[in-house]
A and B are shown apart, each in its own frame.
Chain A
């Protein structure tokens, strides 16, 4: 195989280009056509192929400078990319809250509302607390049951609020995507998938481990309210984290060698 200087130059540029796959592919394709045209022109002027390629590359400009110019984005584009990624992760976060809340309800049905939502064993309510819980939960037979029922109701309101916010976020994303498709401009800037997946994996796995540990420590040391909630939320966060981790690993794997 001949030593193709233009191929080497394009490899160098590809390493330096940022942006979406479509943006990088377009820049690389335009650069290659330009360099080959330019080299052909130098060859018609009497240069040999190697010298013509060198001259074409020199006229085109060094790869770091051209890649840097190509990577430059307007602040509005960068802001939009961050908002888009944050909204995407936020949507998954709200979905995780919804799933965890449903599972927690299910867990309360098969175990006990007291273990899932209630005060830790041995917890002593003050008279004021007891009066408050019994006032807001008149169907309860004692302070412990009233506190667990109130905590359960609060968690339902929490998931309802999360679902509404999640639907609003999803609506904004879908609306923005429809608008983006109508605009006759280059692909909308977005953070690399691997970065978004890495942030998601770190956030969800971190939260999952923290919640499970909090539940376990609470179970051993006592004094923790809603031990079942902590476990359920932790497990759901871990599952979401593992999904993001798998997506991250898939995005950074090399292109399939089977095709080679």
Chain B
């Protein structure tokens, strides 16, 4: 899938991936790749500025933890993050539904 399309929806992808529980960046990238059946392959480094942005907006919190012998920043959804994920997911479903109706008519 085009990088630009993923980039425009990276916040929602990260919020959705974090809904499964706290995770560090590498886990989040792997989770997005697996849950999209390999469709969403993004430049992995871009998740960190996105996560920092989400944190600065109060949508996620983070802390250093040692996981698997390495010190990692583990991210977790905040209450505001859950609300934002629900809102953005609802917006996305409406958009996807509209796209499907239009694109479906072409086939």
A66 cross-chain contacts in B, Cβ below 8 A: 43, 45-46, 48-49
B49 cross-chain contacts in A, Cβ below 8 A: 27, 66, 69-70, 72
A33 to B1, CA, bound (A): 26
A61 cross-chain contacts in B, Cβ below 8 A: 43-46
With A184-B61, A185-B55 known as contacts, the answer to whether A30 contacts B25 (CB < 8 A) is yes
Instruction: With both chains docked as a complex, state the minimum distance between the C-beta of A63 and any C-beta of chain B, in angstroms.
Output: 8
Please tell me the size bucket of the interface on A. 20 to 34
Interface string of B27-47 (1 = CB under 8 A from A): 001000000000000011110
Assess whether B55 is in contact with A31, with CB atoms less than 8 Å apart: no
Assess whether B43 is in contact with A26, with CB atoms less than 8 Å apart: no
Assess whether B70 is in contact with A36, with CB atoms less than 8 Å apart: yes
A30 to B70, CA, bound (A): 10
A74 to B58, CA, bound (A): 14
Chain A residue, CB-CB nearest to B56: A185
A33 to B71, CA, bound (A): 7
Assess whether A60 is in contact with B45, with CB atoms less than 8 Å apart: yes
Query: Interface on chain B toward A: helix, strand, loop, or mixed SS?
Result: helix
CB contacts under 8 Å to B, within A8-49, are 23, 26-27, 29-31, 33-34, 36-38
A37 to B52, CA, bound (A): 20
A27 cross-chain contacts in B, Cβ below 8 A: 48-49, 52
Assess whether B46 is in contact with A33, with CB atoms less than 8 Å apart: no
B94 contacts partner chain A, Cβ-Cβ < 8 Å: no
A257 contacts partner chain B, Cβ-Cβ < 8 Å: no
With A33-B72, A37-B70, A38-B26 known as contacts, the answer to whether A70 contacts B52 (CB < 8 A) is yes
Of A38, A59, A69, A185, which is within 8 A of B58 by CB?
A185
Interface string of A183-206 (1 = CB under 8 A from B): 011100000000000000000000
Assess whether B58 is in contact with A34, with CB atoms less than 8 Å apart: no
B58 cross-chain contacts in A, Cβ below 8 A: 184-185
Instruction: With both chains docked as a complex, state the minimum distance between the C-beta of A249 and any C-beta of chain B, in angstroms.
Output: 32
A110 to B46, CA, bound (A): 66
Instruction: With both chains docked as a complex, state the minimum distance between the C-beta of A70 and any C-beta of chain B, in angstroms.
Output: 4
Chain A residue, CB-CB nearest to B48: A30
B72 cross-chain contacts in A, Cβ below 8 A: 30, 33
A37 to B69, CA, bound (A): 11
A65 contacts partner chain B, Cβ-Cβ < 8 Å: yes
Instruction: With both chains docked as a complex, state the minimum distance between the C-beta of A27 and any C-beta of chain B, in angstroms.
Output: 6
With A33-B26, A33-B72, A37-B26 known as contacts, the answer to whether A186 contacts B45 (CB < 8 A) is no
B48 cross-chain contacts in A, Cβ below 8 A: 27, 30-31, 34, 66, 70
Instruction: With both chains docked as a complex, state the minimum distance between the C-beta of A32 and any C-beta of chain B, in angstroms.
Output: 9
Interface string of A55-88 (1 = CB under 8 A from B): 0000111000110011010100100000000000
Instruction: With both chains docked as a complex, state the minimum distance between the C-beta of B41 and any C-beta of chain A, in angstroms.
Output: 8
Instruction: With both chains docked as a complex, state the minimum distance between the C-beta of A223 and any C-beta of chain B, in angstroms.
Output: 57
A26 cross-chain contacts in B, Cβ below 8 A: 52, 73
Which residue among A23, A34, A59, A186 has the maximum number of chain B CB atoms within 10 Å of its CB?
A: A34
Taking A30-B25, A66-B46, A185-B56 as given, write out 18 further A-B residue pairs in contact, using a Cβ cutoff of 8 Å, ordered by the A residue number.
A26-B73, A27-B49, A27-B52, A29-B71, A29-B73, A31-B48, A34-B29, A37-B70, A38-B26, A59-B43, A60-B44, A61-B44, A61-B45, A66-B45, A72-B49, A74-B56, A77-B56, A186-B52
User: Which B positions have Cβ atoms within 8 angstroms of A?
Assistant: 24-26, 29, 43-46, 48-50, 52, 55-56, 58, 61, 68, 70-73
